[in-house]
Amino acid sequence: MSQSTAIVSPTAPRRILVRGVNWLGDAVMSTPALLRLRGKFPQAHIALLTPEKLRDLWLKHPAVNETLTFADGDSPFAVGRKLRAGKFDLALVLPNSPRSALEVWLARIPQRIGYARPWRNWFLTHAVPTRPGHVFMHKRSVAEINELIRQPVKASPLPPSAHQMHEYLHLVSLLGASAEPLAPRLEIGEDEVQAAKRKFGLTDGLLFGLNPGAEYGPAKRWPVDRFIAAAKEIQQRTNCTWIIFGGKGDLTLAGQIESEIQNLVGQTTLRELCALFKCCRVVLTNDTGPMHLAAAVGTPVVVPFGSTSPELTGPGLPSPLRHPSPAGAGEGGPASAGPGEGSWRKLTFRSGPHAFIKSDAPCSPCFLRECPIDFRCMQGIGVECVVEAVLQTLAQVR
């Protein structure tokens, strides 16, 4: 469907509910759609239904008038009752789950719009067909991975229109809003930045962020010893101060990082994490929710990608990936030492201010939580190319 086939009723909705997504990174990637929705309906009251853990993400956001939350144990019936009191004219359901559609049906909202998926279409008044350009993130089996390694197939680059951000933009375009992408945006005030710096005793020096965890699983994590080696080398060459970030689940991982790096793992609120990312000149991170946070507050990120794809879920504004120089800087020969490295090259790409490093292992992206073979996608990314990507990013910022 296109904007010319808008499905909203002729009367502009006065009260709109957006059923938000459940994961941090996805929530950040939905902000452009919310901003486009606000642009289409500047006078409407827009409420966002979000998990309790993500509530503070939406403070001060210009697209949202009201934030409604639910806890992990809340039933769809309890959520429906809460929403019913809001007397909404229209619901836009961003997740693809049956539960999210059931909640707005139980709320008796007259117009309910979301993607058509099994076990939920009956709950929607407009079950939207899969978007043209949608790319299915298929988890590869061990048999598929072994076949790709045995007979490598060179995959064609995905266009920027494949990015997850366009899933949300397409839905708001059906209400007559623009589908043109925007960079994800979060609002963090200078007062919040200064308060976070005071709380954690940070100076005004050259601050870099380090985020070595990834909640999804180990297949998304560049090896921690390489994070350590890269951080040491960068510190020696820039005299920066490193801050290590992460959630409470990353405490064991953070314990492997040397003590001269300021460790704030598990100590920050969501707003403080955003404020501290805003203090950093560059953030070196895995592909994870905090990666999207850093980019959305305006800080460039450098990201080793393994089991996932920057074309589909990379931070910032979707754009064609490019090498940082005409010669393809960052493109290496065989990686040095480590299981599975073989002849896989490491490739550095840029998208706006951000740098993404991938190996060209043919089984990547597999979208698995754990590697079933030898982790060659991440083992193929050496320390030196990551160091150079951070230094190049710093030079661009300066």
Query: Are 362 and 345 in contact, with CB atoms under 8 Å apart?
Result: no
pLDDT value, residue 256? 58
Rounded to the nearest 5 degrees, what angle is found at the Cα of 205, between the Cα atoms of 305 and 255? 50
Strand partners, 349: 356
Distance CA 191, CA 149 (A): 52
Strand order across the beta sheet in which 111-115 lies: 66-70, 45-51, 15-19, 90-93, 111-115, 126-128
pLDDT value, residue 326? 38
> DSSP letter string over 161-220?
GGSTHHHHHHHHHTTT-------------HHHHHHHHHHTT--SS-EEEEE---TT-GGG
Q: At what angle do helices 190-199 and 270-279 cross, to 10 degrees?
A: 90
pLDDT value, residue 5? 59
CA dihedral sign, ordered 40, 351, 395, 296:
positive
pLDDT value, residue 137? 83
Each of the 398 residues of the chain gets a pLDDT tens digit; together they read 334 456 766 578 999 999 999 999 999 999 999 999 999 999 999 999 999 999 999 999 999 999 999 999 999 999 999 999 999 999 999 999 999 999 999 999 999 999 999 999 999 999 999 999 898 888 999 999 999 988 887 777 788 899 999 999 999 999 999 999 999 999 999 999 999 999 999 988 899 999 987 777 788 899 988 998 999 999 999 999 899 997 666 556 556 565 457 788 888 999 999 999 999 999 999 999 999 999 999 999 999 999 999 999 999 999 888 776 433 344 443 333 344 444 456 678 888 899 999 988 999 999 999 999 999 999 999 999 999 999 999 998 77
Fold of 3-173: Rossmann fold (3.40.50)
Tell me phi and psi for residue 116, to 5 degrees.
-70, 125
Same fold, 3-173 and 191-397: yes
**191-397: CATH number:** 3.40.50.2000
What is the C-alpha radius of gyration for the chain, rounded to an integer number of angstroms? 22
Q: Which two tokens stand for residue 268?
A: 């920050």
C-alpha torsion 309→315→321→322, nearest 10: -130
The 3 state secondary structure assigned to 334-358 is CCCCCCCCCCCCEEEEEECCEEEEE
Query: Are 184 and 28 in contact, with CB atoms under 8 Å apart?
Result: yes
Distance CA 287, CA 385 (A): 17
Sequence length of the chain is: 398
Give the start-to-end residue ranges of the domains of the chain: 3-173, 191-397
Rounded to the nearest 5 degrees, what angle is found at the Cα of 206, between the Cα atoms of 25 and 305? 35
